[in-house]
Amino acid sequence: MDVIPSGRALGAEIIGIDLLKDVSAAQREFIFNAWTENLVLLFRGQSLSFSDLLRLRELFGPPGQAANQLLGLGRKSYLPSDLPDDCTIISNITDANGKPIGALGDGEAFWHTDSSFTETPISASLLHAIEVTEEGGETAFLNMYKAYEEMPAGLAAKIEGKYVNHSKLHNSAGMKRPEFAEVTDPSKAPGVKHPIVRTHPVTRRKCLYLGRRQMSYIFGLSLDESEALLDEVWAHACQDKYVWQHKWRVGDLIVWDNRCTMHHRNAFAPNARRLMHKSTSAGEAVV
């Protein structure tokens, strides 16, 4: 195996391994160390089943759950019967009855961290490309270590010791989850309280932990103060110098660390088919 860095603030490709085969202890250590160093890993040309995704997630941590499981919302009725409970389908494709076979459609998926609306958010997300679009649908990743480490001292002082509400109200495409009542005041949104700066449990490095901008709120501030400070923090964090964007090919597997990254998906044409399969590794309490 070898590691080919993206040349950007994060991300690397791993070559020289077929993930259909058993992963040895030495390979496992190599992959985990590369993931810890590069935050996002790309494996090209992989042909993986749902069971493979469930097996491979354990390279990065204990078995994790899908967002609906973590939210306690149960299994969506439209999902295929052969889909394991811990896996997710991300797709805009519909079945013969016009019902979606997966989540998030074809729109933009705004900058976010997966499942940060829980007390113990997931660590790794594994996303496998089955069908991809020629244009649009790219996924970008953001290095939250660098965003924190290079933050102006004055701004860093403003967020020191602050906690943020990570809302459950909307998905990453900005659509309200129907299971929750409408809320217009971000300080009243259902969610979970996390520190705005967290310490990574493996590297012990500090990084920003923002979750998603929609319905976010900084505890202890007025709503106007919270909105202004969040706008300032997000404007700094989402600078292009902290980003690597990936153009998908069929067979790509990407694994990212939600504890120190955010990610974003570009919109694509509604008539273009995109099909991705996903699994996750469990994480730990945010400190």
Mean pLDDT along residues 135-144: 98
User: How many CA atoms are closer than 13 Å to the CA of 229, on its beta-carbon side?
Assistant: 23
188 sits in which H/E element: none
Contact 158, 151 (CB under 8 A): no
Position 65 scores a pLDDT of 94
Which of 33-42, 59-68, 74-83, 253-262 has the lowest average pLDDT? Answer: 74-83
Mean pLDDT along residues 145-154: 98
Mean pLDDT along residues 86-109: 94
- For the chain, list the domains and their CATH numbers: 2-280 (3.60.130.10)
The fraction of the chain above a pLDDT of 90, given in percent, is 92
d(CA 258, CA 121): 8
Mean pLDDT along residues 43-53: 98
Which of 92-106, 135-149, 237-251 has the lowest average pLDDT? Answer: 92-106
d(CA 136, CA 111): 16
Mean pLDDT along residues 242-249: 98
Which SS3 state, helix, strand or coil, does residue 86 take? coil
Mean pLDDT along residues 219-225: 98
pLDDT band at 205 (very low <50, low <70, confident <90, very high): very high
Mean pLDDT along residues 1-11: 98
Q: Which of 153, 121, 124, 106 is nearest to 265 (CA)?
A: 106
The region, left, alpha or beta by phi > 0 then psi within -120 to 50, assigned to residue 102 is beta
> Has residue 247 got a pLDDT over 80?
yes
> Has residue 146 got a pLDDT over 80?
yes
> Has residue 80 got a pLDDT over 90?
no
pTM: 0.96
Contact 135, 269 (CB under 8 A): yes
Mean pLDDT along residues 48-54: 98
Largest Cα span, the chain: 56
Q: Which of 177, 170, 179, 216 is nearest to 194 (CA)?
A: 216
- SS (HEC) of 95-113: CCCCCECCEECCCCEEEEC
Mean pLDDT along residues 97-106: 92
Position 138 scores a pLDDT of 98
Position 35 scores a pLDDT of 98
**Mean pLDDT score across all residues of the chain:** 96
Position 76 scores a pLDDT of 79
Position 68 scores a pLDDT of 87
pLDDT band at 79 (very low <50, low <70, confident <90, very high): confident
Token pair of 277 as six digits: 């399969």
